[in-house]
């Protein structure tokens, strides 16, 4: 592996969700540990599954992997980190301040911004605290889906600048507390931008969207000084998958994607890893991860998959259409095909004569590329964080700032530089889309799970505030969260792949949603090899591995649709229409 040659102390694995970052990072950790190196593997992903891969509980503490001498692991849990962060701020104030003031501080520390800075505090310690972590030769980061990673990695520079500017830190705690960490933040920036200490490994599948994503990631990280990049193309279909039509089609798609690799990353050192017949979920699989699979492995294990339920996507569209309007939210881990499913559902509704708004809150999504052309009655939009932020700041300055004097306007403008402002701005546009669904269909392709939960947290905070105000006045009211909780107005569709990790993460997401009073309406298993009914031993082995996961989804889901792996990439109107059985005629 070229990215392991003269490996520095810090290795960052990043890329679009679902490309196999965790598998590559875990296998790398095992490989380095077997070279008698002391290795700490860290996940900064809110949906981390290191414990599942190693078959043990890890959590938010350094845990030795007993079966691999020299290897330890740590999962930075955002919620635990946020709770500890709040206690560090609020604990010393108890008994010294009125309860009302402490309650106000607690409320200000309940948002997503606090969670972000709390996780970041732990992250910077790993980069700078030689007393606690100096014994490790390598610290390997299995980072979160790309959008979250960028926010996390950009925080060292952003917070250093923010502190220098004296910005409003009400959502982060007293500014003096943050200012004490200025030197730590500066040291973290130095470590991240030093190629002798830090290496960036951009992981992608041989797919255009995944390759574009690592190009965007590399360009943005290079702009903040992280430039020592390597590319890993993971999950390339091996020759032992056979020559049946679907295998040849997948190989062709992969070859075309790799031949058109974006220019910004084309010249970076590159490694290619083959797809495995079995899921990478135990130590034996990690040890064999970099070794080509023997030709007879799949043949020995292959069995025909069990009969699958008859669960076409068009059946869900039929039920959605029957309500005449509403919000459809496609949610799940990044890389499972939420954009594709959202576009297919929106297209089917439009072709049936309904006015449809197809929108996304995902910074990495490109709905226009997915559709490929305009469609009657289908409007495509994107909630762009930068645009939303600019509009929100202008609106606040024009309203709240209108009657302020110059010092007051300057203070308000400074307050709007808080990182929390972007979340509020996006939430406002999200709320408008929810409102529009009362009279038309709105199909929303949401961001990867971490972003989605932050968005729903914003909805919950807004709901609590409105409930306090309106409840006191005994007035009728409706908030976005109430609409999300009402199955007559909102249908949440969880999209997953028939693989262990995506199903586990979707199940965790279902639990989080239900704690917020939102029950998923349906699940979609996307790109199922089993549903494509392959013939080769390798692909039948992959299909057999899917059956247990599909059964697990059936236990969790009220409704289920299974979309087969297609020989053609589901891009463009014709291919998307095929997912829902073509373009039905109006009755």
User: Is 491 marked active-site?
Assistant: no
User: Is 23 marked active-site?
Assistant: yes
Task: Please give the torsion angle defined by the CA atoms of residues 479, 483, 484 and 485, in that order, rounded to the nearest 10 degrees.
Answer: 100
Distances, alpha carbon 376 to alpha carbons 308, 346, 350, 352, 370, in Å: 35, 11, 7, 11, 16
> Rounded to a whole number, what is the largest CA-CA distance in the chain?
78
Options 15, 16, 17, 18, the catalytic residue: 18
- Give dist(CA 478, CA 525) in Å, integer: 33
Instruction: Quote the DSSP letter at residue 375.
Output: B
Q: Give yes or no for a contact between 277 and 541, defined as CB atoms under 8 angstroms apart.
A: yes
Options 17, 28, 43, 45, the catalytic residue: 45
User: Is 22 marked active-site?
Assistant: yes
Q: Give yes or no for a contact between 21 and 11, defined as CB atoms under 8 angstroms apart.
A: no
Cβ burial 134-165 (10 Å sphere, 16+ → b, else e): eebebbbbbbbbbbbbbbbbbbbbebbebbee
Options 143, 501, 527, 541, the catalytic residue: 501
Options 16, 21, 212, 276, the catalytic residue: 21
What element of type H or E holds 222?
helix 208-223
User: Is 112 marked active-site?
Assistant: no
- Give dist(CA 52, CA 71) in Å, integer: 16
Q: Give yes or no for a contact between 231 and 265, defined as CB atoms under 8 angstroms apart.
A: yes
Q: Which residues neighbour 27 within 8 Å (Cβ) at sequence distance 6 or greater? A: 280, 286, 287, 289, 290
User: Is 95 marked active-site?
Assistant: no
Q: Give yes or no for a contact between 530 and 305, defined as CB atoms under 8 angstroms apart.
A: yes
Extract the runs of DSSP E, i.e. beta strands, from 205-360. 229-236, 270-274, 326-331, 356-360
Options 14, 16, 17, 22, the catalytic residue: 22
3-class secondary-structure state, position 398: helix
Q: Give yes or no for a contact between 357 and 435, defined as CB atoms under 8 angstroms apart.
A: no
- Give dist(CA 564, CA 579) in Å, integer: 9
Options 15, 16, 17, 23, the catalytic residue: 23
- Give dist(CA 144, CA 152) in Å, integer: 9
User: Is 21 marked active-site?
Assistant: yes
User: Is 173 marked active-site?
Assistant: no
Options 15, 17, 20, 334, the catalytic residue: 20
What element of type H or E holds 390?
helix 385-399
The tokens describing 319, both together, are 């039920």
Instruction: Quote the DSSP letter at residue 294.
Output: P
Q: Which residues are catalytic?
A: 18, 20-23, 45, 501
């Amino acid at each position: 592996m070229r990215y392991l040659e003269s490996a520095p102390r810090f290795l960052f694995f990043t890329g679009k969700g679902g490309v196999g970052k965790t598998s590559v990072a875990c296998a790398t950790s095992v490989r380095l540990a077997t070279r008698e190196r002391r290795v700490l593997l860290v996940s900064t992903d809110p949906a981390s599954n290191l414990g599942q891969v190693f078959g043990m509980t890890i959590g938010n503490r350094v845990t030795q992997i007993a079966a691999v001498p020299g290897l330890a692991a740590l999962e930075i849990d955002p919620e635990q980190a946020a709770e500890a962060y709040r206690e560090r701020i609020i604990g010393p104030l108890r008994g010294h301040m009125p309860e009302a003031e402490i309650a106000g501080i607690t409320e200000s520390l309940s948002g997503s911004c606090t969670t972000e800075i709390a996780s970041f505090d732990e992250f910077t310690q790993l980069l700078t605290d030689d007393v606690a972590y100096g014994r490790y030769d390598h610290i390997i980061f299995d980072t979160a889906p790309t959008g979250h990673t960028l926010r996390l990695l950009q925080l060292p520079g952003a917070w250093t600048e923010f502190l220098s500017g004296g910005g409003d830190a009400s959502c982060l705690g007293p500014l003096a507390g943050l200012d004490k960490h200025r030197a730590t933040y500066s040291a973290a920036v130095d470590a991240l931008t030093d190629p002798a200490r830090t290496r960036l490994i951009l992981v992608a599948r041989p797919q255009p969207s995944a390759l574009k994503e690592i190009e965007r990631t590399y360009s943005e990280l290079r702009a903040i000084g992280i430039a020592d990049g390597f590319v890993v193309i993971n999950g390339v279909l091996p020759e032992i998958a056979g020559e049946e039509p679907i295998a040849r089609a997948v190989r062709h798609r992969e070859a075309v994607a790799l031949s058109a690799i974006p220019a910004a990353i084309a010249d970076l050192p590159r490694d290619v890893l083959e797809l495995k017949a079995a899921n990478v979920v135990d130590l034996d699989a990690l040890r064999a991860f970099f070794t080509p699979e023997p030709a007879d492995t799949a043949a020995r294990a292959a069995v025909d998959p069990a009969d699958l339920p008859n669960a076409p996507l068009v059946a869900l569209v039929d039920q959605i259409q029957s309500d005449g309007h509403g919000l459809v939210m496609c949610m799940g881990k990044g890389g499972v095909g939420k954009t594709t499913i959202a576009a297919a559902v929106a297209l089917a509704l439009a072709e049936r004569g309904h006015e449809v708004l197809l929108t996304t809150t995902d910074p990495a999504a490109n709905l226009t590329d997915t559709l490929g052309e305009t469609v009657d009655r289908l409007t495509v939009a994107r909630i762009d964080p930068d645009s939303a932020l600019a509009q929100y700041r202008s609106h606040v300055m024009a309203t709240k700032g209108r009657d302020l004097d110059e010092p007051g306007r300057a203070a308000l403008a400074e307050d709007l530089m808080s990182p929390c402002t972007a979340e509020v701005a996006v939430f406002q546009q999200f709320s408008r889309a929810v409102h529009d669904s009362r009279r038309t269909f709105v199909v929303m392709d949401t961001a990867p799970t971490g972003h989605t939960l932050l968005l729903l947290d914003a909805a919950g905070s807004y709901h609590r505030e409105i409930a306090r105000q309106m409840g006191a006045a005994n007035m009728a009211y409706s908030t976005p969260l109430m609409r999300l909780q009402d199955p007559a107005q909102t249908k949440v569709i969880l999209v997953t792949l028939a693989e262990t990790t995506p199903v586990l993460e979707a199940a965790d997401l279902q639990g989080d949603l239900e704690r917020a009073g939102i029950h998923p309406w349906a699940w979609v298993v996307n790109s199922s090899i089993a549903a494509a009914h392959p013939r080769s031993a390798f692909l039948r082995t992959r299909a057999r591995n899917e059956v247990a996961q599909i059964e697990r989804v059936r236990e969790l889901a009220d409704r289920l649709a299974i979309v087969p792996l297609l020989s053609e990439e589901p891009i463009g109107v014709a291919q998307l229409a095929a997912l829902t059985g073509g373009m039905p005629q109006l009755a």
